Amino acid sequence: MQSSNPVLNRSSAFAPGQGQAYPGAAPYGQPGPYGQPGQYGGPGMPPQQYQGAPAASRPMTLDDVIAKTALTLGVVVVAAALAWWRTPDTLVTPVFFAGLLVAFVLGMVLSFSRRINPALVMVYAAAEGVFLGIGSKFIANYVGDPGIVVQAVLATMVTAGLTLATYKYFNIKVTPRFTRMVIIGTMGFAGVVVINLIASLFGFNTGIGGFGAMGLLFAAIGAGLAVFNLILDFDMVEQGVRHGAPQNEAWRAAFGLTVTLVWLYWNLLRILAILRGGD
């Protein structure tokens, strides 16, 4: 089973049933968590050699993921605050698009890298923060209340917390069918957004990125998909911890969670802005 978050898919640590295993994985032939195949894919599949983590390394823990996710999100917040307060009005547009472009490029590089680079994760977080800081300031000015950003942050924290609680305490089973549905929905949503962006460059306004009814609909769909992606990511992180992924893979998990949480925040902010209307 794979997460729809491409970041977590680049390592077998988060999909141990795909032919590789880390030290501490379920014994060969025994099932893994949630009924997934155990080490090397379970019965009927020949073992494959995997070098694993360096001898000096230790398996990734949940504390590692939490600490590195907090650090990455901290960089996003600091960069966003600096972009909000320190970007001159004459440079708002170029800095905004520069942050967006750098975040996009680094996001693609990190998503498809076999080895995670913590330094690039931090640079990505800073670029994402610049984009979010200026974008959030624009929306705050639109509604005439900077407090909407605090409301969106709190809404993101509450939503993520409730999602995690629901996943853990209701023992949600992440089935292949559920995973496929989320992947298809996410890819379709991303495709529509890209097409809309290209169309807007030629003067076509579909309203998807605006503050009308269509914008509200797509922001709500985006927030919903972000919640479903969080469920998949929680499951993949849990599998990585259970299967003894190398400690450095915590950076990959942190990056993946940051991508999803930023996506959730942005859509919740747009929903709040649309519901409140312009100043």
Task: Write down the domain spans for the chain.
Answer: 6-46+58-276
Token representation of residue 134: 């200026």
φ, ψ for residue 233 (rounded to 5)? -70, -40
How many CA atoms does the CB half-sphere of 241 hold within 13 Å?
14
Using DSSP's 3-state secondary structure scheme, residue 59 falls into strand
Alpha helices (runs of H) in the chain, residue ranges in sequence order: 6-9, 62-86, 92-111, 118-143, 147-169, 176-201, 213-242, 249-276
Q: Is 39 helix (H, G, I), strand (E, B) or coil?
A: strand
Phi and psi torsions of 39, nearest 5° = -60, 130
Contact call for residues 237 and 48 (beta carbons, < 8 A): no
pLDDT by residue, tens only, the chain of 279 residues:
344 454 555 455 555 444 344 433 333 333 333 233 333 233 333 333 334 445 456 899 999 999 999 999 999 999 999 999 999 989 999 999 899 889 989 998 998 898 999 999 999 999 999 999 999 999 999 999 999 999 999 999 999 999 999 999 888 888 999 999 999 999 899 889 888 878 887 888 888 888 899 999 999 999 999 999 999 999 989 999 998 899 999 999 999 999 999 999 999 999 999 998 865
Which residue matches tokens 């640079």? 123
* Unique residue bearing structure tokens 């996710």: 69
* Contact criterion met (CB below 8 Å) for 258 and 233: no
Of 160, 145, 156, 93, nearest to 273 (Cα)?
145
Nearest to 87 by CA among 132, 125, 123: 132
* Single-letter residue type at 23: P
CA distance 105 to 94: 16
